[in-house]
Amino acid sequence: MKHCKLICLLAFLFLIASAAVAQDTVPQVELAGGYSYVNFHPSYAGITSQNFNGGGGAFVYNFTKLIGIKADFEGYAVGTGWTKYLKDNYGYAGSASGNAFTYMFGPQIKSHSGKWQPFGEALFGAFHSNGYATLIHCIENDGCSSNNGNGNNNGFAMEFGGGVDYALSEHVQIRPVEVDYLYSHFSANHIPNYSAGQNSFKYFGGINFTLGGK
């Protein structure tokens, strides 16, 4: 009986130790940074899609083996396509320059085993762009009196997608691809009842650092 109790106790301790080791293999924190590209589709007739190039980073805190909370911050330079559109259609001689930023938060589901570690995400937050307000301002006034429109530059944003990380070492991973469907919604306070959504494509690639855990 004593031997049985001892064996059972040892088996119980072994299971606890195994569970602890399994949990330790999951990083507590992940920090990603790199290049990002967005193919933005303005919701205005006659305007073609525009290319945004930029970059940023993301922070993930893993609560379980699969689920973490992600904060994603990206910044972009508005492409030259808007300036060309305004010159060709409105004779605009200036440069409709601008920028774009996204700030989003939400859950991430990721497999942390093996060299290739796929993940998926659903993020929600805000999209800021003074370039979009400039574009709408120039179109509605049939010309551009200045480089900056007075529209609502802060819109709602959400993205759904995922990617994969390749583990180079215990704490360094390469992220060759992350692709997302990016939805944004803007209004303009100088245009009565104007409100529209934009459906865009987003790519991110870079490096991911894993901290904590084993």
The one-character DSSP state at 145 is S
pLDDT at position 25, please?
A: 76
Q: Which residue has the higher pLDDT, 112 or 97?
A: 112
Q: Where along the chain do its domains lie? A: 27-211
Query: Measured between alpha carbons, how far is 36 from 73 in angstroms, rounded to an integer?
Result: 11
Torsion (CA) 71, 77, 81, 86 in degrees, nearest 10: 110
Query: Measured between alpha carbons, how far is 81 from 95 in angstroms, rounded to an integer?
Result: 10
pLDDT at position 148, please?
A: 46
Mean pLDDT of the region 88-105:
73
Mean pLDDT of the region 155-160:
94
Q: What tokens does 12 get?
A: 């119980």
Share of the chain above pLDDT 90, in %: 48
Q: Which residue has the higher pLDDT, 40 or 27?
A: 27
Instruction: Using alpha carbons, select from 70, 64, 74, 88 the residue that is nearest to residue 30.
Output: 70
Q: Which residue has the higher pLDDT, 203 or 11?
A: 203
pLDDT at position 12, please?
A: 43
Amino acid type, 181:
Y
pLDDT at position 42, please?
A: 74
* pTM given for the model: 0.76
Q: What is the CATH number of domain 27-211?
A: 2.40.160.20
Query: Measured between alpha carbons, how far is 172 from 160 in angstroms, rounded to an integer?
Result: 25
Strand, coil or helix: 55? strand
